[in-house]
């Protein structure tokens, strides 16, 4: 979302291990404030059954919204007030990390410059740490 709204400057979240299938948290909810002033929320549950498996990002604005799957087929839906839905499709690689890896290799070989820096990775890691900072266990906060 950095590309669209700027860096996340404030974040708060809760994490829990609700299914107890393994030690790590399996559900995370959070809220963000981007440098542009845009507010966002997220909900990630990694132990849903197939019927509840849902992957969707929505960007809602004053005139409508854009919806897409993060790990989907590259299909986007644009909904504008008073207009028919518009569908867009972009071919996505089966290896979603491949374009980033190519730019990293290009940078290491001094053939190109990678836009993803250690500072952007550290920022993403800080956001994930903040999202999971407050762990909820059976209604108790720790």
The domain segmentation of the chain, as residue ranges, is 2-93+130-141
Q: Residue 61: which pLDDT band, with cuts at 50, 70 and 90? A: very high
pLDDT-wise least confident of 32-36, 81-85, 94-98: 94-98
CATH 3.30.360.10 is the classification of domain 2-93+130-141: yes
The answer on pLDDT for 140 being more than 70 is no
Please report the DSSP string for the chain in residue order.
-HHHH--EEEEEEEEE-SS-SSSS--EEEEEEEETTS-EEEEEEESS--GGG----EEEE-SSEEEEE-TTSSSEEEEEETTS--EEEE----SSTTHHHHHHHHHHHTTSS--S--HHHHHHHHHHHHHHTSEEEETTEE-
What is d(CA 79, CA 77) in angstroms, rounded to the nearest whole number? Answer: 6
**Alpha carbon distance 113, 109 (integer Å):** 10
Mean pLDDT of 38-42: 95
pTM: 0.78
């Amino acid at each position: 979302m950095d590309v669209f709204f700027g860096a996340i400057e404030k974040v708060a979240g809760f994490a829990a291990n609700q299914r107890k299938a393994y030690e790590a948290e399996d559900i995370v909810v959070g809220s963000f404030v981007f440098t542009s002033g845009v507010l966002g929320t997220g909900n990630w549950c990694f132990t849903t059954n197939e019927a509840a498996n849902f992957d969707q990002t929505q960007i809602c604005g004053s005139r409508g919204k854009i919806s897409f799957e993060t790990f989907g087929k590259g299909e986007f839906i644009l909904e504008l007030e008073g207009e028919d839905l518009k569908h867009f499709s972009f071919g996505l690689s089966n290896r979603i990390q491949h374009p980033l890896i190519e730019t990293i290799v290009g940078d290491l070989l001094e053939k190109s410059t990678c836009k993803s820096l250690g500072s952007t990775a550290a920022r993403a890691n800080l956001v994930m740490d903040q999202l999971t900072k407050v762990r909820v266990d059976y209604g108790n906060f720790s």
